[in-house]
Amino acid sequence: MVRQWAVVGILALAIAGAARAAEKFEDKTIGVSVEAPAGFVVSPEAPKKDEFLGEGKGLYFAPDVKETAGILMIHHMDIPGGADFATFKAAFADQLKQVFGDGFKVVKQEDVKGDKLAGFMLEFECPGDGEKPTPGGTTPHHVRWYLIRDGDKQLVGVLYAARQSAWKDMEKGFAASAKTLKHAGD
């Protein structure tokens, strides 16, 4: 009987390990690795290509996504308009303000450096449709967006978002996930 429980325990650990491995995003072609927040599950489909966001690389949903709109999305994009990184960084918040209008508010912006990654993080509040940030929406959303340089003309985006009403409860998991953001490759 003890032996059966030991086998069950080993299988449970193996299954838990497999689930944990599925929660990690790693793409050596864009040079980024990040663990999804605890409990998040990978979407069976990558996000669709978007004119601004570029190519979707990974999408993870909170276990209660219908109530919180909690997501982690990883994408690879060209720096818009052929701008250099410094110009893009300086103008990004103002561009988002133009897109989202009066409901847009910068919470903080800071540089990201370390583990062969360089870029910046912009955290903001904006309107949304209850599922995602959307210009003209009526549901407040909160976003923390890491934009990491990939050469001179491209960026890797790591975007955490949720409804504003759920942000406080989700922020700790988002922060823990962001601490796992590192370079992948070489």
Task: For residue 75, count other CB atoms closer than 10 A to its CB.
Answer: 23
- Which tokens go with 78? 């060209």
Determine the pLDDT at residue 186: 63
Contact 94, 106 (CB under 8 A): no
Nearest CA to 182 out of 101, 89, 137, 119 is that of: 119
Determine the pLDDT at residue 64: 96
Domains of the chain and CATH, by start:
24-183 (3.40.1000.10)
107: CB partners within 8 A, 6+ apart:
123, 124, 125, 142
Q: Within the chain, which residues score under 50 in pLDDT?
A: 1-22
**What percent of the residues of the chain are helix, what percent strand, and what percent coil, each to the nearest 5?**
35, 40, 25
Determine the pLDDT at residue 23: 86
Cα–Cα distance between 108 and 92 in angstroms, integer? 13
Largest CA distance in the chain: 67
Give 2-40 pLDDT, tens digit per residue. Answer: 333 222 232 222 233 333 334 899 999 999 999 999 999
Q: First vs last Cα of the chain: how many Å apart?
A: 48
Q: What angle do CA 63, 67, 73 make, to 5 degrees?
A: 55
Quote the pTM value: 0.86
